[in-house]
Amino acid sequence: MSAYPGSENERRVSHDALKAAASSIFQACGMSAGDAGVLGGSLATADLHGVHSHGVMRVPDYAGRLSPPPREPGTRSAVAGVQGGVNPRGRPRVSRERGAALRVDGDNAMGQIAGVFAMEAAIERARDTGVAFAAVGNSNHCGALFPYVQMAVAAGMIGVASTNALPTMAPWGGADRIVGMNPLAIGIPTGREPAFVMDAAFAACARGKVVVYHQKGVPLPEGWAFDARGRPTTDPAAALDGLLRPVGDYKGVNIAMAMGVLSTLLSGAGYGVRLGTLEQGPRAGRDGHFMLALDVSAFTDPDAFRAEMDGIIAEVHASRRAPGVARIYSAGELEAETAARYLENGIPLNDNTLADLERTAAALGADVSMLG
């Protein structure tokens, strides 16, 4: 997880207040209180763990997707960036199943609603079959992936999740944005040690992080992005007009393509530009995800497995450190420490994000007075 520059000087908001504010806005978009809480909680939890690229900075975009499109062609809604077309009352369901295989129709709901439903279904099926794979279609942006695999970990299972994403990368050596960063998350239960929780896209950074750096007027770290001609850049504006760099160069592109296939072709969702483009935005209902749950007890003794995982993570902690490194972290530990610190001291949010929240709330008549 990359630290965001300047956060020490930013306004602090409690996790509960942030969740309540986002939920209030989504209720004003027509969602039920329960679904609005799931969606708002997803974004607030991402901010709590320091994953601001998938936090409440996305509220205006989500509100636009959930709002009715403008009545007159060529006019804009009061909600910035309105796309419309997402079903605020969508009810996901299992539309096809065979043994451990589940196909989930998201009913064009927000992806968090479909994703939670799918992982719950996979966990329940895995209790009988040992493993279950849920392919999700007719969905929308599902936010950060780590909460889904944490659901499996809480049930004593290994969780795996992926999703498609708007194309932000080119094939290695190319300059056309036709490959999404299509992230992968894996959660593995442990005993005494913190659970192993990895959530990573196959670009050097999330595009949302580039947006945050652009908002702050801070140069990007080297190796994160290319400009529109495929040349390395540290200018956030040029990066937003250009390409994200894949991790591992051609290897990252190939893994991202594989995750995109698993997230879309099994459920009828939109791979690559079939989902949409950065210029035109995503097409409603064309996001796809997969949720995988593996019941450890179907393969081995759970207590022995957890003890082995503790040993693996302890090896990481005890391994020899490179010069200047104070501590070596296993996957998810840095985010967990950030969450503990932000729960105590509040979540830092930049002025642009807070202003966007308040502006969106005002346009919809939602109450966000809890933000202070």
Query: What pLDDT score does 75 carry?
Result: 45
Report how far residue 56's alpha carbon sits from residue 58's, in angstroms, rounded to the nearest whole number.
Answer: 5
> For 33-84, how does the pLDDT look when each residue is reduced to its tens digit (9 = 90+)?
999 999 999 999 999 999 998 999 999 999 999 976 555 554 444 455 446 7
Report how far residue 285's alpha carbon sits from residue 86's, in angstroms, rounded to the nearest whole number.
Answer: 7
Q: Categorize the per-residue pLDDT at 117 as very low, low, confident or very high, splitting at 50, 70 and 90.
A: very high
DSSP 186-200: EEE--SSSPPEEEEE
Q: Categorize the per-residue pLDDT at 89 as very low, low, confident or very high, splitting at 50, 70 and 90.
A: very high
Q: Which residue has the tokens 């690559």?
A: 272
The answer to whether the predicted template modeling score (pTM) of the entire model surpasses 0.85 is yes
> For 313-341, how does the pLDDT look when each residue is reduced to its tens digit (9 = 90+)?
999 999 999 999 999 999 999 999 999 99
Classify 209 as helix, strand or coil.
helix
Instruction: Report CA torsion sign: 36, 38, 43, 49.
Output: positive
Contact, 185 vs 335, CB < 8 A?
A: no
Q: Count other Cβ atoms within 10 Å, centred on residue 90.
A: 23
Report how far residue 304's alpha carbon sits from residue 291's, in angstroms, rounded to the nearest whole number.
Answer: 25
User: Among 214, 106, 164, which residue's Cα sits nearest to residue 119?
Assistant: 106
Report how far residue 260's alpha carbon sits from residue 255's, in angstroms, rounded to the nearest whole number.
Answer: 9
> For 228-281, how does the pLDDT look when each residue is reduced to its tens digit (9 = 90+)?
999 999 999 999 999 999 999 999 999 999 999 999 999 999 999 999 998 888
Q: What backbone torsions phi and psi does residue 55 show, to the nearest 5 degrees?
A: -100, -150
Report how far residue 319's alpha carbon sits from residue 313's, in angstroms, rounded to the nearest whole number.
Answer: 10
* Whole-angstrom Cα Rg for the chain: 20
